[in-house]
Structure 1
Amino acid sequence: MNIAVYPGSFDPVTYGHLDIIERGAKIFDKVVVAILENPNKNPLFSIDQRKQLLISATSNLSNVEIDSFHGLLADYMLHINARAIIKGLRAVSDFEYELQMASINKKLAPEVETFFMMTNNNYSFLSSSVVKEVAKYGGDISDLVPENVLEAFKKIYD
Protein backbone atom coordinates (compact mmCIF):
# COMPACT_ATOMS: atom_id res chain seq x y z
CA MET A 1 0.00 0.00 0.00
CA ASN A 2 1.26 3.45 -0.95
CA ILE A 3 0.92 5.49 2.29
CA ALA A 4 1.55 9.23 2.48
CA VAL A 5 1.68 11.39 5.58
CA TYR A 6 0.49 14.99 5.67
CA PRO A 7 2.03 16.38 8.87
CA GLY A 8 1.16 19.64 10.59
CA SER A 9 -0.28 21.31 13.64
CA PHE A 10 -3.76 21.80 12.10
CA ASP A 11 -4.69 24.33 14.80
CA PRO A 12 -7.27 24.51 13.28
CA VAL A 13 -7.80 22.69 9.99
CA THR A 14 -8.60 25.15 7.18
CA TYR A 15 -9.93 24.86 3.65
CA GLY A 16 -6.31 25.14 2.49
CA HIS A 17 -5.42 22.00 4.46
CA LEU A 18 -8.49 20.20 3.16
CA ASP A 19 -7.54 21.07 -0.41
CA ILE A 20 -4.16 19.36 0.05
CA ILE A 21 -5.74 16.37 1.86
CA GLU A 22 -8.35 15.83 -0.87
CA ARG A 23 -5.81 16.10 -3.67
CA GLY A 24 -3.39 13.79 -1.87
CA ALA A 25 -6.16 11.24 -1.33
CA LYS A 26 -6.60 11.03 -5.11
CA ILE A 27 -2.92 10.18 -5.61
CA PHE A 28 -2.04 7.89 -2.71
CA ASP A 29 -3.74 4.70 -1.50
CA LYS A 30 -3.88 6.10 2.01
CA VAL A 31 -3.21 9.55 3.48
CA VAL A 32 -2.45 9.83 7.18
CA VAL A 33 -3.05 13.35 8.44
CA ALA A 34 -0.58 13.45 11.34
CA ILE A 35 -0.94 16.14 13.98
CA LEU A 36 2.43 17.05 15.43
CA GLU A 37 2.42 17.31 19.22
CA ASN A 38 4.79 20.29 19.43
CA PRO A 39 5.69 21.36 22.99
CA ASN A 40 7.09 24.65 21.62
CA LYS A 41 3.65 25.81 20.45
CA ASN A 42 0.71 26.97 22.51
CA PRO A 43 -2.25 25.61 20.52
CA LEU A 44 -5.78 26.96 20.77
CA PHE A 45 -7.28 23.49 20.32
CA SER A 46 -6.10 20.34 22.12
CA ILE A 47 -4.78 17.34 20.20
CA ASP A 48 -8.09 15.53 20.79
CA GLN A 49 -10.11 18.52 19.57
CA ARG A 50 -7.98 18.83 16.44
CA LYS A 51 -8.34 15.11 15.77
CA GLN A 52 -12.12 15.33 16.06
CA LEU A 53 -12.27 18.43 13.83
CA LEU A 54 -10.17 16.65 11.19
CA ILE A 55 -12.15 13.39 11.43
CA SER A 56 -15.36 15.30 10.85
CA ALA A 57 -13.92 17.46 8.05
CA THR A 58 -12.53 14.43 6.17
CA SER A 59 -15.36 11.97 6.81
CA ASN A 60 -16.14 11.88 3.08
CA LEU A 61 -12.64 10.55 2.26
CA SER A 62 -12.47 6.80 2.87
CA ASN A 63 -8.69 6.58 2.46
CA VAL A 64 -7.82 9.33 4.96
CA GLU A 65 -6.84 8.54 8.54
CA ILE A 66 -6.20 11.01 11.36
CA ASP A 67 -3.38 10.41 13.85
CA SER A 68 -0.94 12.33 16.04
CA PHE A 69 2.72 11.93 16.84
CA HIS A 70 5.57 13.49 18.76
CA GLY A 71 9.26 13.42 18.00
CA LEU A 72 10.82 13.13 14.58
CA LEU A 73 8.64 12.85 11.50
CA ALA A 74 11.19 10.45 9.97
CA ASP A 75 10.74 8.07 12.91
CA TYR A 76 6.96 8.29 12.66
CA MET A 77 7.12 7.57 8.92
CA LEU A 78 9.14 4.41 9.50
CA HIS A 79 6.89 3.37 12.39
CA ILE A 80 3.76 3.37 10.20
CA ASN A 81 5.58 2.12 7.09
CA ALA A 82 4.86 5.26 5.06
CA ARG A 83 7.17 6.32 2.27
CA ALA A 84 5.80 9.71 1.20
CA ILE A 85 5.42 13.07 2.93
CA ILE A 86 2.96 15.59 1.50
CA LYS A 87 3.65 19.27 2.09
CA GLY A 88 1.55 22.17 0.87
CA LEU A 89 3.32 25.28 -0.37
CA ARG A 90 1.66 28.70 -0.37
CA ALA A 91 4.60 30.90 -1.35
CA VAL A 92 8.32 30.89 -2.07
CA SER A 93 8.93 31.59 1.63
CA ASP A 94 7.31 28.23 2.50
CA PHE A 95 9.58 26.45 0.05
CA GLU A 96 12.83 27.51 1.72
CA TYR A 97 11.78 26.10 5.10
CA GLU A 98 10.17 22.98 3.63
CA LEU A 99 13.26 22.25 1.53
CA GLN A 100 15.32 22.18 4.74
CA MET A 101 12.81 19.84 6.38
CA ALA A 102 12.73 17.57 3.31
CA SER A 103 16.51 17.43 3.29
CA ILE A 104 16.84 16.43 6.94
CA ASN A 105 14.04 13.88 6.58
CA LYS A 106 15.85 12.41 3.56
CA LYS A 107 19.03 12.16 5.60
CA LEU A 108 17.23 10.48 8.52
CA ALA A 109 15.06 8.20 6.36
CA PRO A 110 16.51 7.84 2.83
CA GLU A 111 13.59 5.68 1.68
CA VAL A 112 11.09 8.50 2.36
CA GLU A 113 10.26 11.03 -0.38
CA THR A 114 8.70 14.47 0.11
CA PHE A 115 6.07 15.66 -2.36
CA PHE A 116 5.32 19.38 -2.56
CA MET A 117 1.85 20.46 -3.65
CA MET A 118 1.11 24.04 -4.57
CA THR A 119 -1.87 25.33 -2.63
CA ASN A 120 -4.94 26.33 -4.60
CA ASN A 121 -4.69 30.06 -5.40
CA ASN A 122 -7.90 30.62 -3.44
CA TYR A 123 -6.04 29.64 -0.26
CA SER A 124 -2.55 31.04 -0.91
CA PHE A 125 -2.95 33.59 1.91
CA LEU A 126 -4.55 31.19 4.36
CA SER A 127 -2.93 29.84 7.51
CA SER A 128 -4.22 28.59 10.83
CA SER A 129 -2.57 31.60 12.48
CA VAL A 130 -4.48 34.02 10.25
CA VAL A 131 -7.75 32.20 10.97
CA LYS A 132 -7.17 32.37 14.74
CA GLU A 133 -6.33 36.07 14.58
CA VAL A 134 -9.40 36.94 12.51
CA ALA A 135 -11.67 34.84 14.75
CA LYS A 136 -10.21 36.34 17.92
CA TYR A 137 -11.29 39.82 16.82
CA GLY A 138 -14.73 38.77 15.61
CA GLY A 139 -14.01 38.62 11.89
CA ASP A 140 -15.88 36.32 9.53
CA ILE A 141 -14.00 33.06 8.97
CA SER A 142 -16.92 31.15 7.45
CA ASP A 143 -15.27 30.90 4.03
CA LEU A 144 -11.88 29.89 5.51
CA VAL A 145 -12.77 26.83 7.61
CA PRO A 146 -15.32 24.01 7.53
CA GLU A 147 -18.57 24.38 9.46
CA ASN A 148 -17.43 22.17 12.35
CA VAL A 149 -14.38 24.39 12.91
CA LEU A 150 -16.55 27.50 12.74
CA GLU A 151 -18.76 26.00 15.47
CA ALA A 152 -15.70 25.21 17.60
CA PHE A 153 -14.60 28.85 17.38
CA LYS A 154 -18.07 30.06 18.37
CA LYS A 155 -17.76 28.02 21.57
CA ILE A 156 -14.52 29.83 22.38
CA TYR A 157 -15.33 33.39 21.34
CA ASP A 158 -19.10 33.74 21.86
Structure 2
Amino acid sequence: MSKRRIGVYPGTFDPITNGHLDIIQRASRQVDHLIVGVARNAGKGPLFSTDERVAMVREDVAALTNGTSHSNGASVEVRAFDTLLMHFAVEMNASVIIRGLRAVSDFEYEFQMAGMNARLNPNIETIFLMASDRHQFISSRFVKEIGRLGGDIRGFVSPRVALQLAERFALEDAKANPAPITQPQG
Protein backbone atom coordinates (compact mmCIF):
# COMPACT_ATOMS: atom_id res chain seq x y z
CA MET A 1 0.00 0.00 0.00
CA SER A 2 1.47 3.35 -1.00
CA LYS A 3 1.72 6.32 1.27
CA ARG A 4 -1.05 8.91 1.00
CA ARG A 5 0.30 12.02 -0.76
CA ILE A 6 -0.76 15.21 1.06
CA GLY A 7 -0.24 18.65 -0.45
CA VAL A 8 -0.57 22.15 0.98
CA TYR A 9 -1.62 25.09 -1.17
CA PRO A 10 -0.95 28.18 1.00
CA GLY A 11 -2.07 31.74 0.48
CA THR A 12 -3.74 34.75 2.00
CA PHE A 13 -6.82 34.39 -0.24
CA ASP A 14 -7.96 37.97 0.40
CA PRO A 15 -10.21 37.23 -1.45
CA ILE A 16 -10.10 33.87 -3.20
CA THR A 17 -10.19 34.35 -6.98
CA ASN A 18 -11.06 32.17 -9.96
CA GLY A 19 -7.30 31.83 -10.47
CA HIS A 20 -6.94 30.32 -7.00
CA LEU A 21 -9.83 27.94 -7.72
CA ASP A 22 -8.17 26.86 -10.96
CA ILE A 23 -4.95 26.03 -9.06
CA ILE A 24 -6.94 24.19 -6.35
CA GLN A 25 -8.72 22.09 -8.96
CA ARG A 26 -5.51 21.26 -10.81
CA ALA A 27 -3.49 20.69 -7.60
CA SER A 28 -6.09 18.21 -6.36
CA ARG A 29 -5.17 15.98 -9.31
CA GLN A 30 -1.54 15.85 -8.08
CA VAL A 31 -2.21 14.65 -4.52
CA ASP A 32 -4.53 12.37 -2.59
CA HIS A 33 -5.48 15.10 -0.10
CA LEU A 34 -5.09 18.84 -0.62
CA ILE A 35 -5.04 21.27 2.29
CA VAL A 36 -5.72 24.87 1.33
CA GLY A 37 -3.85 26.81 4.00
CA VAL A 38 -5.28 30.26 4.65
CA ALA A 39 -2.50 32.36 6.18
CA ARG A 40 -3.55 34.75 8.94
CA ASN A 41 -0.88 37.18 7.68
CA ALA A 42 -1.97 40.31 9.54
CA GLY A 43 1.15 42.03 8.18
CA LYS A 44 -0.50 42.24 4.75
CA GLY A 45 -3.47 44.12 6.24
CA PRO A 46 -6.14 41.84 4.79
CA LEU A 47 -9.55 43.25 3.91
CA PHE A 48 -11.28 40.19 5.39
CA SER A 49 -10.63 38.48 8.72
CA THR A 50 -9.09 35.03 8.75
CA ASP A 51 -12.45 33.45 9.61
CA GLU A 52 -14.14 35.29 6.73
CA ARG A 53 -11.43 34.18 4.29
CA VAL A 54 -11.60 30.56 5.47
CA ALA A 55 -15.40 30.62 5.03
CA MET A 56 -15.10 32.11 1.52
CA VAL A 57 -12.55 29.48 0.48
CA ARG A 58 -14.65 26.66 1.95
CA GLU A 59 -17.78 27.87 0.13
CA ASP A 60 -15.98 28.22 -3.20
CA VAL A 61 -14.23 24.85 -2.85
CA ALA A 62 -17.55 23.17 -1.96
CA ALA A 63 -19.14 24.72 -5.05
CA LEU A 64 -16.17 23.62 -7.15
CA THR A 65 -16.42 20.01 -6.01
CA ASN A 66 -20.21 19.91 -5.54
CA GLY A 67 -19.54 18.45 -2.11
CA THR A 68 -17.66 15.45 -3.51
CA SER A 69 -14.06 14.44 -3.99
CA HIS A 70 -12.36 15.41 -7.22
CA SER A 71 -12.28 13.00 -10.14
CA ASN A 72 -9.12 11.32 -8.88
CA GLY A 73 -10.61 10.85 -5.39
CA ALA A 74 -8.61 13.67 -3.81
CA SER A 75 -10.25 15.42 -0.92
CA VAL A 76 -9.83 19.13 -0.25
CA GLU A 77 -9.69 20.64 3.22
CA VAL A 78 -9.41 24.30 4.21
CA ARG A 79 -7.49 25.36 7.33
CA ALA A 80 -6.17 28.60 8.76
CA PHE A 81 -2.57 28.79 9.89
CA ASP A 82 -0.33 31.38 11.55
CA THR A 83 2.97 29.54 11.74
CA LEU A 84 5.92 29.20 9.41
CA LEU A 85 4.68 27.46 6.26
CA MET A 86 7.12 24.58 6.69
CA HIS A 87 5.92 24.03 10.26
CA PHE A 88 2.32 23.96 9.02
CA ALA A 89 3.23 21.52 6.22
CA VAL A 90 4.97 19.18 8.68
CA GLU A 91 2.01 19.41 11.08
CA MET A 92 -0.31 18.43 8.20
CA ASN A 93 2.02 15.53 7.18
CA ALA A 94 2.39 17.12 3.74
CA SER A 95 5.07 16.00 1.32
CA VAL A 96 4.31 18.73 -1.21
CA ILE A 97 3.75 22.50 -1.19
CA ILE A 98 1.91 23.78 -4.23
CA ARG A 99 2.43 27.30 -5.50
CA GLY A 100 0.77 29.03 -8.43
CA LEU A 101 2.71 31.19 -10.86
CA ARG A 102 0.97 33.87 -12.91
CA ALA A 103 3.85 35.63 -14.61
CA VAL A 104 7.61 35.91 -14.74
CA SER A 105 7.36 38.53 -11.99
CA ASP A 106 6.09 35.84 -9.59
CA PHE A 107 8.93 33.49 -10.40
CA GLU A 108 11.83 35.24 -8.66
CA TYR A 109 10.00 35.53 -5.33
CA GLU A 110 8.62 31.99 -5.52
CA PHE A 111 12.02 30.60 -6.54
CA GLN A 112 13.65 32.20 -3.50
CA MET A 113 10.87 30.98 -1.21
CA ALA A 114 11.16 27.43 -2.56
CA GLY A 115 14.91 27.52 -1.94
CA MET A 116 14.45 28.70 1.65
CA ASN A 117 11.76 26.09 2.27
CA ALA A 118 14.03 23.36 0.87
CA ARG A 119 16.75 24.42 3.29
CA LEU A 120 14.27 24.35 6.18
CA ASN A 121 12.95 20.92 5.24
CA PRO A 122 14.39 19.06 2.23
CA ASN A 123 11.76 16.32 2.61
CA ILE A 124 8.95 18.60 1.44
CA GLU A 125 8.96 19.35 -2.27
CA THR A 126 7.60 22.54 -3.86
CA ILE A 127 5.59 22.13 -7.05
CA PHE A 128 4.77 25.13 -9.24
CA LEU A 129 1.61 25.22 -11.33
CA MET A 130 1.38 27.84 -14.04
CA ALA A 131 -1.84 29.81 -14.06
CA SER A 132 -4.15 28.95 -16.92
CA ASP A 133 -4.18 31.48 -19.76
CA ARG A 134 -7.57 32.87 -18.74
CA HIS A 135 -6.39 33.47 -15.15
CA GLN A 136 -2.80 34.73 -15.54
CA PHE A 137 -3.68 38.36 -14.92
CA ILE A 138 -5.96 37.86 -11.91
CA SER A 139 -4.68 38.84 -8.47
CA SER A 140 -6.53 39.48 -5.23
CA ARG A 141 -4.96 42.94 -5.07
CA PHE A 142 -6.27 43.90 -8.53
CA VAL A 143 -9.71 42.42 -7.79
CA LYS A 144 -9.97 44.53 -4.63
CA GLU A 145 -8.81 47.66 -6.41
CA ILE A 146 -11.22 47.21 -9.31
CA GLY A 147 -14.10 46.38 -6.95
CA ARG A 148 -13.36 49.29 -4.64
CA LEU A 149 -13.52 51.66 -7.62
CA GLY A 150 -16.85 50.26 -8.83
CA GLY A 151 -15.56 48.01 -11.62
CA ASP A 152 -17.12 44.72 -12.59
CA ILE A 153 -15.23 41.86 -10.89
CA ARG A 154 -17.69 39.06 -11.66
CA GLY A 155 -15.31 37.44 -14.16
CA PHE A 156 -12.53 37.21 -11.59
CA VAL A 157 -14.28 35.82 -8.48
CA SER A 158 -17.32 33.71 -7.67
CA PRO A 159 -20.70 35.47 -7.34
CA ARG A 160 -20.53 34.88 -3.55
CA VAL A 161 -17.16 36.60 -3.25
CA ALA A 162 -18.23 39.47 -5.54
CA LEU A 163 -21.22 40.08 -3.24
CA GLN A 164 -19.05 39.97 -0.10
CA LEU A 165 -16.62 42.45 -1.64
CA ALA A 166 -19.45 44.80 -2.62
CA GLU A 167 -20.86 44.63 0.91
CA ARG A 168 -17.44 45.27 2.47
CA PHE A 169 -16.77 48.25 0.21
CA ALA A 170 -20.23 49.69 0.97
CA LEU A 171 -19.52 49.32 4.69
CA GLU A 172 -16.12 51.03 4.31
CA ASP A 173 -17.71 53.86 2.33
CA ALA A 174 -20.40 54.33 4.98
CA LYS A 175 -17.74 54.54 7.69
CA ALA A 176 -15.60 56.95 5.69
CA ASN A 177 -18.54 59.13 4.63
CA PRO A 178 -21.15 59.06 7.38
CA ALA A 179 -24.51 60.58 6.60
CA PRO A 180 -24.72 64.16 7.81
CA ILE A 181 -26.73 64.75 10.95
CA THR A 182 -29.68 66.98 10.23
CA GLN A 183 -31.24 69.22 12.78
CA PRO A 184 -35.02 69.06 13.15
CA GLN A 185 -36.79 72.08 11.74
CA GLY A 186 -38.72 73.89 14.35
Regarding TM over 0.5, the answer is yes
- 1:140 and 2:157 equivalent? no
2:60 maps to a residue whose letter is A
Higher mean C-alpha displacement, 15-24 vs 66-75: 66-75
1:68 maps to a residue whose letter is A
Count of aligned pairs between the two proteins: 158
RMSD over aligned CA atoms reads: 1.0
Instruction: Kindly report structure 1 stretches of 4+ aligned residues shifted beyond 4 Å.
Output: none
SS at match of 2:43: coil
> In the TM superposition, what is the alpha-carbon distance from 1:151 to its structure 2 partner?
1.4
Provide the identity percentage: 44
Alignment of 1:26-37 (within 5 A): 26-37=29-40
SS at match of 1:7: strand
Match of 1:52 among 50, 55, 58: 55
> In the TM superposition, what is the alpha-carbon distance from 1:148 to its structure 2 partner?
1.1
> In the TM superposition, what is the alpha-carbon distance from 1:154 to its structure 2 partner?
2.1
- Counterpart CA distance in 1 for 2:48 and 2:42 is 13
2:29 maps to a residue whose letter is K
Bigger Rg over Cα: 2
Residue 118 of structure 2 corresponds to 106
> In the TM superposition, what is the alpha-carbon distance from 1:147 to its structure 2 partner?
1.2
Residue 80 of structure 1 corresponds to 92
For structure 1, the 5+ residue unaligned runs are: none
1:1-47 per-residue CA deviation (whole Å, 9 max, x = no partner) reads 11100001000000000000000112210110001111311100110
- Counterpart CA distance in 2 for 1:154 and 1:37 is 22
- Counterpart CA distance in 1 for 2:60 and 2:22 is 11
- Counterpart CA distance in 1 for 2:49 and 2:40 is 10
- Counterpart CA distance in 1 for 2:23 and 2:168 is 27
1:35-66 per-residue CA deviation (whole Å, 9 max, x = no partner) reads 11113111001101111111110012531100
Match of 1:41 among 40, 44, 47: 44
> In the TM superposition, what is the alpha-carbon distance from 1:71 to its structure 2 partner?
2.2
